[in-house]
A = this chain, B = another copy of it.
């Protein structure tokens, strides 16, 4: 009799976004005259840039011609895309070998699948509030999860605990959902902690392209010592509107090794084995589109999109400043994480905002216990809607 993986039965169903949808639907039905503005959306809205479109059309044509058709590609991605990503890292001072870069269908898949490389017996450190994939994938493997409080006291940037010797540490910076971003010094403390404990840092850099301030690392590999303790996950999703186009990359340094029976085992080699066995590479057409992102033309075009979202974040931040509402993120992140005014709880504020301003956000409590009393707004709508939403919020809360 086949035995299922019973760890799956320990997963909590997430109703966050379906609960939101239900409430919005009910409101719309009861108030057909009101226009709801959604600032809860975690997905990009700007289309793919012309350089990407052009590269993909060309690649589609190549695939239709026997002379230029491509069958199976390397599971870890084509050399042309490795080189493009390598050049991108070089632009913020990080030197990587081509075979330390693995092209994938997105950061989510890799952040999830990386758990294949680790024993069940590891202790996993996860900040709270958190992107649920870190938690759920480790529950699926039956690992012990220790939560680390991210809160107003530490600016939602928890530092290494002195009382927990974790084996696997998840960090996301700029953070989803809080938008908080580690500086060099803070990240160095994490790297030192990991190297001292033989822990591995699983570093989610999916939002690095939103960093605007100086003094903030774009990659954990800007930190000395990171190559012996960290794996970095990155994605073109938010960088270049690839959420529905699917391409990311994971960096596994060759210096990251763990001793087994006195022999050093490199995670780079293990991940290569995992990917060649359980993955078959990203579509050639998509890889050509991704490579176009990293050309001068492509980078100029995507910077316009990112600037578009940053202007929305600025509009939101400006209103919150005027209202005297405490918030995190927004400057180096598409997410604005605000403290619900007047001591309201997350869902209370959600209802209040929906009913009185027809504005939709995401209750912070949906991301973990430390999210209670907080609320996430995103900068992914257009300027007009963002301005309209914030005008309504201002009118409502100024009363």
Contacts and interface: CB of A to CB of B under 8 A. Distances in A.
Contacts of A22: none
A70 interface: yes
A273 to B, nearest CB: 6
Nearest to A78: B244
A241 B63 CA distance: 9
Nearest to A169: B2
B109 A280 contact: yes
B109 A278 contact: yes
Contacts of A395: none
A46 B260 CA distance: 46
A226 to B, nearest CB: 15
A318 to B, nearest CB: 25
Chain A interface size, under 10 / 10 to 19 / 20 to 34 / 35 or more: 35 or more
Q: Enumerate the 8 nearest inter-chain pairs by beta-carbon distance, A residue then B residue, closest first.
A: A1-B198, A112-B278, A43-B71, A3-B119, A53-B64, A47-B69, A2-B167, A71-B243
Interface of A: 1-6, 8-9, 11, 43-50, 52-53, 56-57, 60-61, 63-66, 69-73, 105-106, 108-109, 112-113, 116-119, 121-122, 132-133, 136-137, 140, 167-168, 197-200, 241, 243-246, 258, 260, 265, 267, 270, 273-274, 277-286
Given A2-B168, A5-B270, 11 more contacts: A2-B198, A3-B118, A4-B118, A6-B260, A11-B273, A50-B64, A73-B244, A106-B280, A109-B278, A137-B277, A285-B285
